[in-house]
Amino acid sequence: MELPLPESYSGNDQSAFHACLSRSVRLGTQLVCYQCAGYTNSGCAGNTMAMKTKQRRAKIEPTITRAQLMVGGSDRAFRQFLHDTLAFTARLQAVRGQLGAVIGLSGTQYTVLIAIAHLSSDDEKVGVNQVAEHLHFSGAFITIEINKLVASGLVEKQTDTEDRRRVVLTITPKARDRLNELAPLQRSVNDIMFRSLSASDFDKYRKLMSGMVGAADEAIRMLDYNGAVPPKGSGR
């Protein structure tokens, strides 16, 4: 007599269940499996596979509570978004490192240098705090990186004539030449990386991103308060 397959069985589980039944005979009210040397409802291969299936389907607690981020009551879409963001960020860091290497700098040094160049091109006096705020790094971390650029002859420090307590940062002609040489490659890389963004997409995301950085800072403070250990080399 062929027994019905439990609904919880599927795929490989079905094969294991049927194989077990093919080795079984009915003894009274019990179905005994010769190979498993036990009852099919208490430890045979079919039951073991069913237990594994149930374990795989065990509920995992959601990672968010905000309804705006839940799709169909699930955080699956959010997890995919987060993992895609992490993947893009890792590649963005790799691109930054390679662009920096072209002009003999680390990715961080390259970022600091081009930030100083673009901020100062707006006819503003650029100081350490302004660069730190622009890049969302601590002042102490930025100071260390700027000193490396100064030692390499790429950045100059001058005392502000209007406020002698303040140091003004400028890039040197040597640095400007390197950045200008890099620009054609930089443009091509950026055009490829961000080609999926329309003008409206860019306008929306550039405004959202600043707020998301601020929210991430708040999340880090919460983790710090709860005793979580920050990763090494975070620059924070």
- pLDDT tens digits, residue range 113-126? 999 999 987 667 89
pLDDT tens readout for residues 176-221 = 999 999 999 999 999 999 999 999 999 999 999 989 999 999 999 9
Instruction: Using a pLDDT cut of 70, give the percent of the chain over it.
Output: 71
Q: Is the distance from CB of 87 to CB of 136 less than 8 angstroms?
A: no
Threshold 0.85, pTM exceeds: no
Question: 146 near 169, Cβ under 8 Å?
Answer: yes
Q: Containing H/E element for 31?
A: strand 30-33
Distance CA 5, CA 23 (A): 15
Q: Phi, psi at residue 128, to the nearest 5°?
A: -60, -45
- Say whether pLDDT at 224 is over 80: yes
Other Cβ atoms closer than 10 A to 105: 24
Give me the mean pLDDT over the 118-147 stretch. Answer: 91
Mean pLDDT of 107-134: 91
CATH 1.10.3720.10 fits 79-194, yes or no: no
Ranges of beta strands (E only) in the chain are 24-27, 30-33, 38-39, 155-159, 167-171
pLDDT score at 60: 84
Domain ranges of the chain: 12-56, 79-194, 197-236
Cα–Cα distance measured from residue 235 to residue 230, given in angstroms and rounded to the nearest whole number: 10
What does the pLDDT look like over 31-83, one tens digit per residue? Answer: 445 445 444 444 455 555 555 555 566 778 999 999 999 999 999 999 999 99
Report the pLDDT averaged over residues 141-161. 94
